[in-house]
Structure 1
Amino acid sequence: MKEPQIDYAAVFQALPGMVALLTPDLMYADANDDFLRLAGRTREQLLGRYIFDVFPENPNAPAAAGMRETRASMLRVAATGERDTMALLRYDIEDAQRPGHWQEHYWSPVNAPVCGPDGQVVLVVHRVEEVTELIRARGGPGRDSRARVLEAELYTRSRELQEVNERLRTAHAHEREVALALQEAMLPAPRPLGHHRAAVRYQPATGSLNVCGDWYDLVELPGKSLAVAVGDVVGHGLAAACAMGQLRSALSAACRVAAGPALALDALGLYARFVEGAESTTVVTTFIDWEDHTITYSCAGHPPPAMLHPDGTVIFLDQATDPPLGARPEHVPRPQARVPFAKGATLVLYTDGLIERRSEDIDTGLARLADSLTHHGRSDPEALADALLADLLPLTGNTDDTALIVIRL
C-alpha cells in the first residue's frame, strides 16, 4: 500500500492552538497561524529573533516572573532533551499598534524537544494555551471577583487608601515571587536513573498561587535501590509550600538512613509534630530494589500507588496503609509491605488531585486510573504521564493540585 504524501509544513500551520518552534538559543524558527494571530505578530516580526526581544516582560509589573520561568523551562528542555510542562503563569503582551500599552494575559505552556539524528536537541516546541478569559472569569489566580471589585474601588478613593492598596499589592507580589521560587527549588526534574526511565508532573489547581503542598521526590539509596515518594500537605499557598519543603527534605534524609519506608515515615511523623501546618499530611514512600525486583512500601493516609504489570493488569499497593501524619495522639510504628515486580512493569505514584472528585467515591477514581493505565501502558513514561493527566483531570480545570511520577521498572 502506497503511503500518503503528507505536507507536514501545512499540518504545522493548521494545528489548532498556539505552537512555535525555537532554536536551542531561543530564536524563533517558525510559528503556526494561531500563534501569530493570538500573539498579534507577523511572521516577519518573529523569525530569526530572540523570543524575549519580541515579547519582553511588562516593565509595569515588578513582580512578573513569566520571562524567567519561560527561559528556565526552555533552556532545561534544550539541555536535558526532556519535555517540561510549566505551571500557569501571567505574561503580558505589548500592543504592537500602541507601544507602551500592555495587555494582561495568562498562559498554560508546554515545552518539548525535537532531537536530531545524533540525539541532540535541535528545536524546542513551544505550545501555549491562552487561558486569560478563564482566569478573568474566576477572578485571577488567588483572587476572587470580589477582591477585584474592591481593588477597583480603592483606586477611586483618596490618596491614603491608594497607598494602602499599593502596599497590599506589593505584599501579594512578594509572596508570589517567593512561592514560585520555592516551587522551582523544591520540585526539580528527576535525575537520570540509569537505564530506567521516569517522568514527573506537577499540575496546580486552577486559580491557585501556582504552588501548594503537593510534592514528589526520588532519592538514590545505598546499593542498587531507589526511594520514590509523593506527599500532600493540607492547604495551598505559601504556608503549605513552606511546610511541604520541610517535610520533603526531612523524608529525603530519613530515607537515606532508615532500614525501610515504614521507619522513614516513623521519623517523618515525629518530625511533623514540630512543623506548623504539617497536621494531616498524607504521604506514601516506596523503596525499589533493582536487584531483588521488589518494591517495599508504606502509606500514611495517601492514595495507594498503582503498578502496571507487563501483561496489562493493574494492582494497587494498599496492604500497608495507616493514618496521615499527626492523626494519632501517640506514636505507633507504621506498617510496610513488599511486592515483586517484573522487568518492564510501571510504577505510578500520585496525589489525590488525580483521582478524587467531590461527587464520587474514591473507588471510582481508582478504577478510572486503572483503565487509563491499561489503555496507555505501553507508552514511554513521558507520554504515559501526559496521557494520565489528559484522561483523568477535568477539562474545566481541577480544584486540587496534582503531583504525578511514572517509573518504568
Structure 2
Amino acid sequence: MKDAAIDYEAVFQALPGMVALFTPELVYADASEEFLRMTGRRREDLVGRHLFDVFPDNPNDPGATGVRNLKASLCRVLAGAERDAMAMQRYDLECPDRPGQWEERYWSPVNAPVFGPDGKVALLVSRVQEVTELVQARGDRGGSRARVLEAELYSRARELQELNERLRLAHAREREVALALQKAMLPARRQAGHQRAAVRYRPAVGTLHVCGDWYDMVDLVGGNRIGVSVGDVVGHGLAAAGVMGQLRSALSAASRVAEGPAQALDVLGRYAHVVDGAESATAVTTFIDCDRLTITYSSAGHLPPVLVHPDGRPEFLDRATDPPLDARPDPRPRPQADTTFTSGATLALYTDGLVERRHEDIDKGLTRLAESLVRHRDADPEELADAVLLELLPPGGATDDTALVIVRL
C-alpha cells in the first residue's frame, strides 16, 4: 500500500452493498456492481441520466410514494450537508426485460453527502439494502404480517443506529468548539508580576464533561501583588464554556479593585446570581503580596490551594472555606485568611479532576497531590506541572476536566 496509491474506483466497484453516486442535480454519476446486479440495469442505463427517469414510480400504483420520499431525503442531504437514514420504502421497479411489468420491491436507503475541495456538497452517495424478502409473503397471511413487522423493526433499528451516529458526531463537534472557545478565553501567560508560573488545562477523555474549569492570574493594584484563581462551573460543553468565561472575567475585574479575596468573591457571587448556569459554581482566589511574603485567600466551595515551603512542608490553605457561589439566598460576607511564605516556596491551585476519583475518599487524592508537589518542589514550574499531571491523572485520562496553576514564590 505504501508503494502505490489506492484505486478508489476499484474499491467502489467492489463494495459488497448497493451503492450509487449522484450529482447535486440527482443525475447518476456511477453505481456499484452490486447495485447494477440487484436492479437488473447496466451502467450505461444509469450514468448521465436523471434518477427518476431511470426509476419512476409504478404507474399502476396510485399510492406510490417512492419518488417523493427519496427525493425529499436527497434534498435534505443537499440542504443540511448531513446523512439521512430513510425508513423502509416500497419502491417498485419495472422489469428490464419485460417493459410495462413491475415488481414489488422494498428498500432501506441511507443517503450522505460527499464534499468537494471547496467544502460544498459535490456528490450524493446512496447506500441501499433490499429487504423485499423480509416483507413479501411466503406463506399464510399471518406469516406475511410477521415478515412486514420484522422488516419494520429492522428498519427502525437501522434508523436508531444512524441517529446515534449523528448524535455522536454532533457531540464531537460541540466538544471541539467548546474546547476552542475555552482556549481562546483562558489566559496563556506563564508569568504574573515577577513570579514564574505554569498553567495547564486537560479536558476529560471520552465525555462531554469539559470546559467548566478555569484559571486566572492578574497583577493587582498597589505594590508587588498578584491574584491567582481557579474555579469550576457545574455543567459541560458550550454552555459551561460560556459561563466559565463570564465568571473568570468578572472575578478578574473584581480582584483589581477589591480590598481582598473575600470581597472579590462576594462580588462574584452576586454576579453569579444573575448568570444562568452559574449556580453552585466554585472558586478560590489568592492575593499574593511578594514584598510582605504573605498570601491572603478565600474559597467559595473549592478545594484548598497547596503551599509547599522550601523545606518540603506542605500547607493546605483551608481556613477560609465557604459555600459555592450563589448557594445562599441571602449572601453574607465571605471569610478570608492569611499565611506567610519564604522565597522559593511553591503555590498550587487546581480543580477536582486532578484529585477526585470514584469510590475513593478525597483525602487520598489530596495526599497524593501534596506528595507529588513535595517530591518535585525543586523543579521549574513548567516541569513541576507536567510531573504532577503525569503522576496524578489516570494513564487513559480523567473523566473530569482538570486545571492546574503552579506559582514559584
Which TM-score tier does this pair reach, normalised by the shorter chain? Answer: 0.5 to 0.7
* CA distance in 2 between partners of 1:383 and 1:41 (Å): 39
* CA distance in 2 between partners of 1:154 and 1:316 (Å): 59
* CA distance in 1 between partners of 2:328 and 2:397 (Å): 34
Query: Could you say which residue in structure 2 is the equivalent of 1:203?
Result: 202
Shift of 1:362: 1.2
Query: Could you say which residue in structure 2 is the equivalent of 1:213?
Result: 212
Query: Could you say which residue in structure 1 is the equivalent of 2:278?
Result: 278
Contact 2:85–2:111 (CA<8 Å) still a contact in 1? no
The size of the alignment, in residue pairs, is: 267
Alignment of 1:378-389 (within 5 A): 378-389=378-389
* CA distance in 2 between partners of 1:312 and 1:242 (Å): 39
Query: What do residues 129-179 of structure 1 show as CA deviations (whole Å, max 9, x unaligned)?
Result: xxxxxxxxxxxxxxxxxxxxxx997796455979x9699788657634531
Query: What do residues 275-332 of structure 1 show as CA deviations (whole Å, max 9, x unaligned)?
Result: 1111111100000111111000000111100000000110100000001112112111
Taking a change above 3 Å as real, the CA distance of residues 157 and 190 of structure 1, as seen in their structure-2 partners, is same
Query: Could you say which residue in structure 2 is the equivalent of 1:11?
Result: none
Q: Report the TM-score when normalising by structure 2.
A: 0.60
Shift of 1:232: 0.3
* CA distance in 2 between partners of 1:100 and 1:225 (Å): 63
AA of the residue aligned to 1:407: V
Shift of 1:211: 4.0
Shift of 1:41: 8.2
Query: Could you say which residue in structure 2 is the equivalent of 1:322?
Result: 322
Which range is displaced more, 306-315 or 151-160? 151-160
Contact 2:217–2:228 (CA<8 Å) still a contact in 1? yes
Query: Could you say which residue in structure 1 is the equivalent of 2:125?
Result: none
Q: Report the TM-score when normalising by structure 1.
A: 0.60
Contact 1:231–1:283 (CA<8 Å) still a contact in 2? yes
Taking a change above 3 Å as real, the CA distance of residues 194 and 404 of structure 1, as seen in their structure-2 partners, is same
SS in 2 for 1:235: coil
Taking a change above 3 Å as real, the CA distance of residues 191 and 363 of structure 1, as seen in their structure-2 partners, is closer
Contact 1:208–1:237 (CA<8 Å) still a contact in 2? no
Alignment of 1:331-350 (within 5 A): 331-350=331-350
Alignment of 1:37-52 (within 5 A): none
AA of the residue aligned to 1:313: R
Alignment of 1:118-197 (within 5 A): 157=109, 175-176=174-175, 178-197=177-196
Structure 1 unaligned runs (5+)?
1-39, 43-95, 102-150
Query: Could you say which residue in structure 2 is the equivalent of 1:230?
Result: 230
* CA distance in 2 between partners of 1:225 and 1:267 (Å): 20
* CA distance in 2 between partners of 1:328 and 1:358 (Å): 28
Structure 2 unaligned runs (5+)?
10-82, 88-107, 113-158
* CA distance in 1 between partners of 2:298 and 2:226 (Å): 14
Shift of 1:97: 4.0
* CA distance in 2 between partners of 1:365 and 1:174 (Å): 32
Contact 2:191–2:198 (CA<8 Å) still a contact in 1? no
* CA distance in 1 between partners of 2:187 and 2:8 (Å): 36
SS in 2 for 1:197: strand
AA of the residue aligned to 1:213: G
Contact 2:307–2:345 (CA<8 Å) still a contact in 1? yes
Query: Could you say which residue in structure 2 is the equivalent of 1:58?
Result: none
* CA distance in 1 between partners of 2:204 and 2:7 (Å): 34
* CA distance in 2 between partners of 1:344 and 1:356 (Å): 28
Alignment of 1:240-319 (within 5 A): 240-319=240-319
Query: What do residues 170-213 of structure 1 show as CA deviations (whole Å, max 9, x unaligned)?
Result: 86576345313312211231253354210011011111348410
Contact 1:204–1:211 (CA<8 Å) still a contact in 2? yes
Contact 2:261–2:285 (CA<8 Å) still a contact in 1? yes
Query: What do residues 337-394 of structure 1 show as CA deviations (whole Å, max 9, x unaligned)?
Result: 0111100000000001111112111111111111111111111101110111111111
Taking a change above 3 Å as real, the CA distance of residues 379 and 329 of structure 1, as seen in their structure-2 partners, is same
Which range is displaced more, 330-339 or 395-404? 395-404
* CA distance in 1 between partners of 2:373 and 2:218 (Å): 25
Contact 1:298–1:320 (CA<8 Å) still a contact in 2? yes
SS in 1 for 2:307: strand
Query: What do residues 67-91 of structure 1 show as CA deviations (whole Å, max 9, x unaligned)?
Result: xxxxxxxxxxxxxxxxxxxxxxxxx
Contact 1:208–1:236 (CA<8 Å) still a contact in 2? no
Identity over aligned pairs, percent: 64
SS in 1 for 2:212: strand
Taking a change above 3 Å as real, the CA distance of residues 322 and 394 of structure 1, as seen in their structure-2 partners, is same
* CA distance in 1 between partners of 2:343 and 2:231 (Å): 26
